[in-house]
Structure 1
Amino acid sequence: MAEHMLEMAGALVRVRDGEIEVLTDPKVERCPLRSGLYGIEAESKETVEAVLRGHIEELGMYGPHRVLELNERPVSFGASEMIADAMRTGLVDAAVVVCEGAGTVVAARPEVVAALGAHMTGLVRTEPIEEVQSGLRERGCLLLDDLCTIDQVEGYKRALAAGFERVVVTITGRRAFEAEEIRKTASPSAGGSAPGEGPVIFAVHNIGLTVEDARVLAETCDVVWGCASRQVREVVGRQAKLQIGISIPVFALTNRGKGLVLNRALAFDESLVMHRATLPYGPEEKLPEPLF
């Protein structure tokens, strides 16, 4: 019986053998992205459970029948959508991501990245699901081990050892220290790399961050999602070279980060507007409530 712990809308959730238990109230009261995707105007334990139940029914998440390939793009400028498009255009060779039932995964196929990240939220810890692990390996993925270890630094090392050169690594904001370690690990000669060199680092699920967390993200990452974080907007946003989106802004801090954001924009079928602005940009009424 596998048990998984995750965060959704700031609520701590346990999924055990397909049963969902929302352990704490969501910290986010209203999220424009979740409102658009799921029609939720006010978050509660019940809405968190309903959304997660939908993910389980639609994609088999947290179970042995999980969908491991997907071509749909549910989020306009989500991390998995951005990575998958970058793989299709040859800008990225592999991505170091996480998957429930498997832990840290190195994936090199865009449809696999799309499936793993489609509705992935803040995975805290997870236990093995044999069918998920074997399915990922059949699709050419590399796993750190069979124990579901989540360690993005070791995942990056594994990607390098496998011969991948253009690697995207996703981290969560509260594990900002991993971005520092990844930079130290990257060449040249193990002396480390600066943002814009070596791996491309994406920071996702950025809620409940300290000012120091946000500072580390600003100094080490290429692309950072604003989520419901005031610190990301105030610290990262002010250093960004590009912002796309308003309610849940995506901040690109390096030219390579800008390149991956703009590459996603090229593949985006709907209309967009771009203009000069002082960052971060966006009226208060369009932001998640509250920012924390």
Structure 2
Amino acid sequence: MGEHVIEALGKTRVTVRDGKVVHVSEPLIHYCPLFHKYRGIEKITSEAVRQNIEYRIKDFGMCTANRELRMRDFLSFGISEIISTLLAEGAVEAAVMVCDGAGTVIVTEPELAQGIGGRISGFISTSPEKDVIEKIGPKNVLDPQKATIDQLKGVERALEMGYRRVAVTVKDPDEAEQLREIGDGEIYLFAVHLTGIDYRGAEKIINTCDVVTACASKYIRRIADRRALLKVGSSIPIYACTKKGKRFIELRLEVMGASGKKNSERNPLSPEPLV
């Protein structure tokens, strides 16, 4: 099954090897309202993270050959949900995402985009799982031999495959700038896994990406609260930083029938601490 390195809830680094959790670091964040709401985790500890990752391995085969890949909406509003909606509505033709067991992949099916992105955390590295790659389709996997994670090359591959309107998830500010410089097609950037990003990196993300999730980043909140065209949610906001990003979020809200409920939370809880 190989080795998979994850930045999981609390920005905790976790190593999964051959389907077993073999290392869990100390969490950077000790509270996340999403994991409290959906998983009942009141305090993020190394043991809580271990149990959560073990649950995901057992529940849908994360980091194994038994990975379940298709899924309907999990969160009411998240990056994978927005991308799934864009694929379903024809607003984009393909999405470049990261999948455990496959690395960078090119996805065109809404439920596949949701199944890949909706239940995982940030992957630092992963190892190829033959069955996972077969389910996705080897031609849709950037590097079936090594399961390389490289979003820039993934977008280039998507363009080579003939897709012109491409969504891509990105977490690295420098990679986001490189993606923005691509001259071919229409490339839409969705920033994810930003907990702990420094101020300069946060500025780069806000300046280059269409849609940005705040995660537990204090700098993303500080900058985007002033500059974003649209903000949805309060506990873990999602920001539209371009006109196209604003339209994408509004499209998701329309599909949800929630156009008037953008910031309906009362006394929302935020991740603790913000970093």
TM, length-normalised to structure 2? 0.94
Q: Is 2:270 aligned against 1:287?
A: yes
Partner of 2:179: 182
1:86-125 aligned within 5 A: 86-125=86-125
Partner of 1:239: 227
1:231-270 aligned within 5 A: 231-268=219-256
Partner of 2:26: 25
C-alpha separation in 1, matches of 2:234 and 2:268: 10
Partner of 1:68: 69
**Could you tell me how far 1:65 is from its partner in structure 2?**
0.8
Amino acid at match of 2:169: T
**Could you tell me how far 1:186 is from its partner in structure 2?**
2.6
State the SS of the aligned residue for 1:231. helix
Indicate if the aligned counterparts of 1:21 and 1:49 stay in contact, CA closer than 8 A: no
Partner of 1:59: 60
Amino acid at match of 1:210: D
Larger CA deviation: 99-108 vs 20-29: 20-29
Q: Deviations over 1:202-233 (max 9, x none)?
A: 00111110111101001100000001000100
Partner of residue 218 from structure 1, selected from 206, 220, 233: 206
1:123-134 aligned within 5 A: 123-134=123-134
**Could you tell me how far 1:273 is from its partner in structure 2?**
2.3
Q: Deviations over 1:94-131 (max 9, x none)?
A: 00000111110011111111110121111000111111
Dislocated runs of 4+, deviation >6 Å: 281-285
Indicate if the aligned counterparts of 2:24 and 2:49 stay in contact, CA closer than 8 A: no
Indicate if the aligned counterparts of 1:22 and 1:45 stay in contact, CA closer than 8 A: no
Residue identity over aligned pairs, in percent, reads 36
Indicate if the aligned counterparts of 2:61 and 2:67 stay in contact, CA closer than 8 A: yes
C-alpha separation in 2, matches of 1:98 and 1:263: 23
C-alpha separation in 2, matches of 1:234 and 1:22: 33
**Could you tell me how far 1:148 is from its partner in structure 2?**
1.0
**Could you tell me how far 1:13 is from its partner in structure 2?**
0.2
Amino acid at match of 1:286: L
**Could you tell me how far 1:144 is from its partner in structure 2?**
3.4
Partner of 2:189: 201
Partner of 1:165: 164
C-alpha separation in 1, matches of 2:47 and 2:38: 16
- Matched pairs, number: 274
Q: Is 2:68 aligned against 1:80?
A: no
C-alpha separation in 2, matches of 1:272 and 1:57: 38
**Could you tell me how far 1:260 is from its partner in structure 2?**
1.2
Q: Structure 2: where are the runs of 5+ without partners? A: none
Indicate if the aligned counterparts of 2:24 and 2:50 stay in contact, CA closer than 8 A: no
The verdict on how the C-alpha distance between 1:282 and 1:68 changes in structure 2, with shifts beyond 3 A counting, is closer
C-alpha separation in 2, matches of 1:102 and 1:92: 22
**Could you tell me how far 1:274 is from its partner in structure 2?**
4.3
**Could you tell me how far 1:143 is from its partner in structure 2?**
2.6
Amino acid at match of 1:46: E
State the SS of the aligned residue for 1:14. strand
Q: Deviations over 1:141-176 (max 9, x none)?
A: 34334211111000000011111011101011xx11
Partner of 1:191: none
Indicate if the aligned counterparts of 1:22 and 1:48 stay in contact, CA closer than 8 A: no
Amino acid at match of 1:186: G
Amino acid at match of 2:173: A
